[in-house]
């Protein structure tokens, strides 16, 4: 992949960086690796947990209308028969007759013809292969007729052969199968959401682009249920009416126009986004990414064209990010209507309708929007936007949002003679902030190391600290430093890390430190 992103780092370079710093490793590398499966190192695990925590705080803990669940990974085969995954969750496979290498049909066609082929059916792929004499990219051999390939991982439960179950290919279905229990136990009233985070598994034909397309990954999904006739009755819509984002509708794609900056109000007025609820959730999640440091220039919402929609969807929008390999899906927002509840009613024979107190009607609620996000894709997006090769400093600067940074505070003794006192400062902080104590190399070198892994604030204990009971606090993004009393350190860092105050604001109240050349 040779395209570069605005941050001028390729996906391959990011993968190397992530390995070197301890964010992401190829799984089973010791034994040659398993393609599409990854392990997360010391920084990666904290980073991932922080992303999940921010999502959960924003969309579950902070909302009276949304609750969470944690469903099982190994799930009953009938769930996936009812959901349509057993019959429809397939990609098109092309196999070389000579070298037997297998390719994902739409990807191969896309790579060779430089067109968009996402969602093309078997016959369409066969036609393109024949018309354009597409051969095996590996050995130039002839390709066999395209086949359907189901992406689910099957397993056997217990000692009885044939007791097939599936590793869930999405977290969503567990929300539907637990729907009645959750509604009753949490006493939910329409409209409401049920959210879930956790592992999902897809036996992707050709996992690629580092952690963009994996076989084992994590999802953060929410099903938002409404009265079937109230898709345009969103009580929160005023919050987002003036919110503006790049919009790429089905019509714009057909006319080969570019995406256009629009407010949610205008997308609704022009019937581009069909329902208020869909508009509301698109804006909410766009805002979540921007609030955590993603440049809105790198984001757009794109409507699925007719052939691309999943078997369950009435209308789907994707939140896309401008990756080095082009605009790609970061998060999906399908309008699933009552497809899933209806299917589970049919297959289980159980009634999943609920009583709506407002209309005094028994209804099968509609999922007006299903914001479905992969944790790994979110990680990629935050990393791409944070990565800067700072030529002036001579080191990488990873400008991760403080709430996402895997390590919040670096604690350094200026010289090792001051270790005892510095460790007291470290003890003060370590219970509430993930701290990194670092004593090796010059302070300048330690700052550079902290910049490279995105530590937003570093504290240095120096000889003056012995007298004035103060330390310097350095801001990663500007390299500015202020002098702060050790007594005040905990409260200042709490406000900085939770973004209740900016470093710039603090600079007005605290003594600025003139940075010595060797500490730059």
- Residue selected from 27, 177, 197, 219 as contacting ligand GAP according to rule CB under 6 A: 219
Q: How far is the CB of 215 from ligand GAP (least distance, A)?
A: 7
- DSSP codes of every residue in 360-400: TEEE--EEEEEEEEEHHHHHHHHHHHHEEEETTTTEEEE--
Q: How far is the CB of 70 from ligand GAP (least distance, A)?
A: 16
Q: Are 132 and 179 in contact (CB under 8 A)?
A: no
Contacts of 415 (CB under 8 A, 6+ apart): none
Q: How far is the CB of 438 from ligand GAP (least distance, A)?
A: 34
Residue found under tokens 């604001």: 505
CB of 338 to ligand GAP, least distance (A): 15
**CB closer to ligand GAP, 377 vs 474:** 377
Q: Which of residues 113-172 bind ligand GAP (CB under 6 A)?
A: 170, 172
Residues 342-371 that bind ligand GAP (CB under 6 A): 370
Single residue of 67, 79, 82, 214 touching ligand GAP by CB under 6 A: 214
Q: At how many degrees (to 10) do helices 42-56 and 375-386 cross? A: 110
| Residue with Cβ nearer ligand GAP (66 or 409) | 66
User: In 271-310, at which residue ranges do the beta strands (DSSP E only) sit?
Assistant: 299-303
Q: Which is nearer to ligand GAP, 333 or 461 (CB)?
A: 333
217 vs 412, which CB is nearer to ligand GAP?
Answer: 217
Number of chain positions touching ligand GAP (CB under 6 A): 19
Yes or no: say if 123 and 114 are a contact pair by the CB < 8 Å rule: no
Our CB check for ligand GAP shows the closer of 376 and 452 to be 376
User: Closest approach of Cβ 289 to ligand GAP, in Å?
Assistant: 12
> Of 471, 433, 472, whose CA–CA distance to 455 is shortest?
433
HEC profile for 454-477? CCCEEEEECHHHHHHCEEEEEECC
Q: Name, in order, each residue with C-beta under 8 angstroms of 242's C-beta and a sequence gap of 6 or more.
A: 263, 264, 265
Spell out the long-range contacts of 305-310 with Cβ–Cβ below 8 A and sequence spacing 24 or more: 305/250, 305/253, 305/254, 306/250, 307/119, 307/120, 307/121, 308/118, 308/119, 309/119, 309/334, 310/334
Give yes or no for a contact between 376 and 202, defined as CB atoms under 8 angstroms apart: no
Q: Which of residues 162-191 bind ligand GAP (CB under 6 A)?
A: 170, 172
Q: Which residue number places its CB atom closest to ligand GAP?
A: 374
Nearest distance from residue 320's CB to ligand GAP, in Å? Answer: 10
Identify the residue among 91, 106, 204, 340 touching ligand GAP (CB under 6 A). Answer: 204
What does the per-residue mask of binding to ligand GAP show for 307-326, with x meaning CB under 6 A?
Answer: --------------------
Three-class secondary structure of residue 75 per DSSP:
strand
| Residue closer to ligand GAP, measured from CB, 288 or 433 | 288
Name the strand (E) or helix (H) holding 11: helix 11-21
Check binding of 222 to ligand GAP (CB under 6 A).
Answer: no
- Applying CB under 6 A, the span of 213-221, 243-251, 259-267, 349-357 interacting with ligand GAP comes to 213-221
Give, rounded to a whole angstrom, the gap between the first and last alpha carbons of the chain: 35
Q: Using CB under 6 A, which of 21, 377, 403, 408 touches ligand GAP?
A: 377
Q: Please, which residues bridge with residue 437 across strands? A: 411
Residue 170 or 438 having the CB closest to ligand GAP: 170
Three-state DSSP at 190 gives coil
409-413 and 435-437 strand pairing = parallel
| Nearest alpha carbon to residue 267 among 237, 238, 305, 241 | 241
Minimum distance of ligand GAP from residue 392's CB (angstroms): 35
The DSSP 8-state label assigned to residue 320 in this structure reads E
Residue whose CB is less far from ligand GAP, 372 or 506: 372
Among 95, 106, 329, 462, binds ligand GAP (CB under 6 A): 329
Judged by beta carbon, residue 43 or residue 380, the one nearer ligand GAP is 380
Q: Dihedral angle at the C-alpha atoms of 377, 381, 386, 391, nearest 10 degrees?
A: 100
Residue 331 interacts with ligand GAP (CB under 6 A)? yes
> Of these, 198, 371, 374, 454, which contacts ligand GAP (CB under 6 A)?
374
Q: Of the candidates 217, 224, 277, 433, which one interacts with ligand GAP according to CB under 6 A? A: 217
Applying the rule CB under 6 A, the residues between 269 and 288 that interact with ligand GAP are: none
Query: d(Cα 370, Cα 218) in Å, to the nearest integer?
Result: 16
Q: Taking CB under 6 A as the rule, does residue 213 contact ligand GAP?
A: yes
Q: List interacting residues with ligand GAP (CB under 6 A).
A: 170, 172, 202, 204, 213-214, 217, 219, 221, 329-332, 370, 372-374, 376-377
């Amino acid at each position: 992949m040779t395209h570069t992103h605005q941050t001028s780092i390729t996906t391959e370079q990011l993968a190397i960086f992530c390995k070197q710093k301890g964010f992401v490793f190829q799984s089973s590398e010791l034994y040659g690796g398993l393609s599409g499966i990854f392990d997360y190192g010391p920084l990666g695990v904290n980073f991932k947990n922080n992303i999940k925590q921010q999502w959960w705080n924003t969309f579950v803990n902070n909302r009276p209308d949304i609750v969470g669940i944690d469903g099982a990974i190994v799930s009953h085969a009938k769930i996936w028969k009812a959901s349509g995954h057993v019959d429809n969750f397939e990609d098109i496979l092309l196999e070389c007759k000579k070298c037997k290498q297998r390719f994902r049909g739409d990807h191969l066609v896309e790579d060779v013809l430089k067109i968009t082929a996402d969602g093309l059916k078997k016959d369409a792929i066969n036609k393109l292969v024949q018309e354009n004499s597409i051969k095996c990219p590996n050995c130039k051999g002839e390709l066999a007729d395209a086949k359907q390939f189901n992406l689910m991982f099957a397993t056997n439960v217990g000692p009885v052969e044939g007791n097939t179950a599936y590793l869930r290919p999405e977290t969503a279905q567990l929300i539907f199968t637990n729907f009645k229990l959750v509604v009753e136990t949490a006493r939910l009233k329409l409209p409401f959401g049920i959210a879930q985070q956790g592992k999902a598994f897809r036996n992707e034909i050709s996992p690629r682009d580092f952690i963009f397309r994996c076989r084992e990954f994590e999802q953060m999904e929410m099903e938002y249920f409404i009265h079937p006739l109230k898709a345009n009755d969103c009580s929160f819509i005023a919050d987002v009416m003036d919110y503006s984002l790049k919009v790429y509708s089905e019509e714009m794609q057909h006319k080969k126009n570019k995406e256009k900056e629009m407010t949610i109000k205008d997308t609704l007025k022009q019937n581009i986004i069909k329902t208020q609820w869909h508009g509301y959730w698109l804006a909410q999640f766009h805002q979540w990414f921007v609030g955590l440091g993603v440049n809105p220039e790198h984001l757009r919402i794109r409507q699925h064209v007719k052939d691309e929609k999943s078997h369950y969807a009435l209308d789907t929008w994707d939140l896309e990010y401008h990756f080095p390999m082009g605009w790609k899906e970061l998060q999906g927002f399908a309008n699933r209507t009552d497809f899933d509840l209806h299917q589970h009613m049919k297959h289980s024979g159980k009634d999943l309708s609920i009583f709506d107190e407002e209309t005094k009607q028994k209804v099968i609620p509609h999922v007006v929007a299903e914001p479905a996000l992969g944790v790994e894709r979110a990680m990629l997006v935050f990393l791409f936007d944070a990565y800067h090769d700072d030529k002036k400093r001579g080191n990488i600067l990873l400008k991760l949002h403080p709430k996402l940074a895997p390590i919040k505070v670096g604690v350094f003794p200026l010289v090792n003679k001051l270790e005892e006192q510095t460790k007291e400062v470290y003890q003060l902080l370590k219970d509430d902030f993930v701290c990194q104590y670092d004593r090796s190399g010059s302070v300048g070198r330690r700052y550079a190391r902290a910049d490279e892994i995105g530590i937003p604030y570093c504290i240095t204990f120096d000889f003056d600290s012995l007298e004035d009971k103060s330390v310097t606090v350095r801001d990663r993004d500007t390299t500015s430093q202020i002098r702060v009393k050790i007594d005040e350190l905990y409260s200042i860092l709490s406000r900085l890390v939770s973004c209740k105050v900016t470093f710039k604001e603090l600079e007005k109240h605290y003594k600025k430190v003139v940075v010595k050349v060797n500490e730059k």
